[in-house]
Amino acid sequence: MIKILIVEQNESCRHIIKNILQDYAHIKQKEFSVCEASNGTEAIMLCSIEEYDLIYTGMDLQEMSGIETTKLIRANSPNTLIVAVSKENIEIHKKVLFVGADDYMLQPINKDLFNARLDIYLSLIKSRRNEINNLQGHTLYTDVLYARTTAFFIKNQDVLAEFWEYYVFEEIKGYANVSNIVMMIYDIGLRLLELSLHPHIWIEESERHIYFTINKINKIDSAFLEKIISRHPQISDYFIEKNKISFKYARQSGETAPIVAEETKTIHKTKSETKPSNLSVEIPNNVKQLLKVYDYMDEEHLENIKEYIQKLNSLLLLVGSDIEVEEVEEIAFYLDKIGKSTSLYNESYSISRALSDLSSAIEKNTYEFISKSSSLGVLCSSFGHDLTSWVQMTFYGGAPSVDFMDDTIVTNSKMLESMLSNQAYEDDSASLDDIFDF
């Protein structure tokens, strides 16, 4: 169920939006719960007692302006998608985007454009829900989100070997005697790679336990998974649910860990009864590399960058279809914002230069960008995903190095520039100008 709020003092405008939403829900077989508010005060009150997925808000509101209403809603509803609805006014559009709106729509409303945008909004809502779910922890044993979490993205066998070597060969204090669990996870990860799948492995630590979890196991044939599990009969404490399997290791006396309270939940346990198989595992000899979470960026700057990237991504989703001049200008605006914010740190300086250069190129070639929108769509979508991944892995999930996404982001930035200027891409990073011009 998608919960939607329409904030508009004009009753006929509210009815127009509501009727379009009802028609869309009927045609697309969606379930919408639509509420209405005639002024900003009423909207704030409704948002205090209900969490909405999507809010359409007018700018001409009684009691408080649409700008102030948007600002207050955003402060209390960080995950709600807010769309401003107003007559054409570039200054109002910039202000409402600055205080927290994700998008704006012009009046009078064009039904076809409204529905096309709604397709995008629903995709964003689904994505945000997934991100929120990812913040609830990974182990199937507990609902607790642990402060000490290590993540491995198994993009190839080398990373899987790094996971193996760290937990088996290094024998770091607090991780001793877990080799049997690691062997089983290695077997599962190896099978997923053979199926061209790339799972995540999470290691979460409490005072008394270490939890190991790997996902995408629903892609493995159940009989084959049973064979993998049966190779390790000494492991009896694990849970399987949907696409995950979690293992719990009880710390031995003398092992250290952060003190974290545990809250257990009821989950059905699955244990294989199959006899051990003769499957063998080849262990490559690779160099250990543990993913690390970096904290070089000021928290306020990081929050700003996350907000800019979120708004940029909503705009980049429009590339590939009909896109307006104002939307292209906003893309350049948020690229410039991210570029200037990241330029404050040596670790992200190469990214900042690339983004600032791309912002300038888009500003200079706005109409070229619009004319090439269809060919730029896939690259822009991938580019936005790269920026999101850079923040998520560097500052939250864990990255192999502080500059692990630099080459990808810089290369894609230059590629977009070259597509706008009709020039072949060349690596001229050494000659890029300094962007400390603000």
pLDDT in tens, 9-66: 999 999 999 999 999 999 999 999 999 999 998 999 898 888 899 999 999 887 788 9
Peptide bond between residue 199 and the one before it cis (omega within 30 degrees of 0): no
Which segment of 4-13, 14-23, 282-291 scores lowest on mean pLDDT? 282-291
pLDDT in tens, 384-396: 878 888 888 888 8
**Is pTM, for the whole model, over 0.75?**
no
pLDDT over 90 at 130, yes or no: no
**Kind of pairing between the strands at 209-215 and 244-250:** antiparallel
H-run or E-run covering 91: helix 90-99
pLDDT at position 267 is 34
**Kind of pairing between the strands at 209-215 and 238-241:** unpaired
Domains of the chain: 1-134 (3.40.50.2300), 138-291 (no CATH), 293-438 (1.20.120)
Higher pLDDT, 260 or 147: 147
pLDDT at position 91 is 83
Burial track 403-414 (b if 16+ CB lie within 10 A, e otherwise): eebbebbbebbb
Q: Is 70 exposed, middle or buried (0-12, 13-18, 19+ CB in 10 A)?
A: buried
Whether 413 contacts 435, CB under 8 Å? no
In the three-class reduction of DSSP (H, G, I as helix; E, B as strand; rest coil), residue 65 is classed as coil
Whether 101 contacts 73, CB under 8 Å? no
pLDDT at position 434 is 38
Residue appearing with tokens 């084959």: 224
Helices and strands counted in the chain (H then E): 14, 10
pLDDT in tens, 202-234: 888 877 888 899 999 988 888 888 888 887 777
User: What is the percent of the chain with per-residue pLDDT over 90, rounded to a whole number?
Assistant: 27
Higher pLDDT, 239 or 172: 239
Residue appearing with tokens 């860990």: 257
pLDDT over 60 at 263, yes or no: no
Residue appearing with tokens 């810089």: 410
Distance CA 74, CA 70 (A): 6
- Cα 221 to the chain's mean position, in Å? 29
pLDDT at position 208 is 80
What's the mean pLDDT when you consider all of the chain?
79
Whether 244 contacts 214, CB under 8 Å? yes
pLDDT in tens, 398-431: 777 888 788 888 888 888 888 887 644 444 433 3
Most confident of 65-74, 154-163, 234-243: 65-74
Q: Using 50, 70 and 90 to split pLDDT, how confident is the model at 254?
A: low
Mean pLDDT of 276-295: 46
Higher pLDDT, 317 or 258: 317
Cα-based distances in Å from 175 to 120, 165, 313: 45, 12, 40
CA torsion, points 329, 310, 346, 135, in degrees to nearest 10? Answer: 180
pLDDT in tens, 82-129: 999 998 888 888 888 888 888 888 999 999 989 988 988 898 887 766
H-run or E-run covering 406: helix 406-421
Distance CA 398, CA 392 (A): 8
pLDDT at position 258 is 39
- Cα 283 to the chain's mean position, in Å? 32
pLDDT at position 184 is 87
pLDDT at position 69 is 92
